[in-house]
Amino acid sequence: MIFASARLVARRFERRDLAAFVAMRSDPAVARYQSWDGYTVEEGVRFLDGLSGQEPGEPGWFQFALEEKATGAFVGDCGLNVSAHDRRLAEIGYSIARPFWNRGFATEAVRALTGHAFRAYGLHRISASVDPRNVASCRVLEKAGFVKEAHFRECLWFKGAWADDAIYALLHPGRGEWPVA
Ligand X SMILES: CC(C)(COP(=O)(O)OP(=O)(O)OC[C@H]1O[C@@H](n2cnc3c(N)ncnc32)[C@H](O)[C@@H]1OP(=O)(O)O)[C@@H](O)C(=O)NCCC(=O)NCCS
Residues contributing to the site for ligand X (CB under 6 A): 30, 33-34, 93-96, 101-107, 130, 134-137, 139-140
Select from 181, 164, 3, 150 the least CA-distant residue to 80. Answer: 3
> Min. distance of Cβ 168 from ligand X in angstroms?
9
> Min. distance of Cβ 65 from ligand X in angstroms?
14
Please give the torsion angle defined by the CA atoms of residues 150, 84, 94 and 77, in that order, rounded to the nearest 10 degrees: 180
| DSSP per-residue codes, 27-92 | -HHHHTTSS-SS--HHHHHHHHHHHHT--TTSSEEEEEEEEETTT--EEEEEEEEE-SS-TTEEEE
Query: Do the beta carbons of residue 114 and residue 172 sit within 8 Å?
Result: no
Tell me the residue number closest to ligand X, measured at CB: 106
> Min. distance of Cβ 175 from ligand X in angstroms?
29
Between 90 and 96, whose beta carbon lies closer to ligand X? 96
Between 82 and 109, whose beta carbon lies closer to ligand X? 109
> Min. distance of Cβ 174 from ligand X in angstroms?
26
Between 110 and 123, whose beta carbon lies closer to ligand X? 110
Between 55 and 142, whose beta carbon lies closer to ligand X? 142
